[in-house]
Amino acid sequence: MKHIFEQKVYYSDTDSYGVVWHGSYLRWLEMGRIEYCEDLGLNLIDLQNQDIVLPVTNMNIKYKSSAKLNDDIIIETEITELKSYSVTFKQFIKSKETLKTFVEADVVVVAINNDGKLYRKLPEILSNKFNEVLKCPALV
């Protein structure tokens, strides 16, 4: 399952050179992962109330090109790897008009409890949902 959403580049997203500031991409990547989880029925507040928090532990990001003010962009998110203790999201930020890739990222997330202790195995609510997605025919 691939999640896609659109975003417009606003002035506050750009730097003094008129291009998107590198940190704005990180915010959009996070938005993509949150929206993806929401579509799976995994609300982050509900998970936190169940003593589950999902921090990023590794991010490999490639900045390929720069988006600019007023560009319409799309953020694509999908799961590419599921391990017993982590999940890897593959994400792209692209131009809506040309589909040119601005950013490509692999983001690894783990589950911890509210006190910061790592779950050695993803909680069942997460592993079940993520396994369902990976068995989806579109990802085969």
* Domains, in order of start, for the chain: 2-124 (3.10.129.10)
Catalytic positions, please? 15
Q: Map residue 125 onto helix, strand or coil.
A: helix
Q: Map residue 11 onto helix, strand or coil.
A: helix
pLDDT of 139 above 70: no
Instruction: List the structure tokens of 8.
Output: 């417009």
pLDDT of 140 above 50: no
Please report which confidence band the pLDDT of residue 47 belongs to, taking 50, 70 and 90 as the band edges: very high
pLDDT of 88 above 80: yes
Q: Map residue 13 onto helix, strand or coil.
A: helix
Element of type H or E holding 72: strand 72-82
Amino acid at site 64 = K
Which pLDDT tens digit goes with each residue over 97-135?
999 999 999 999 999 999 999 999 999 999 999 999 888
Res 15: pLDDT: 93
Cβ 109 vs Cβ 57: under 8 Å = yes
Res 136: pLDDT: 54
pLDDT of 138 above 80: no
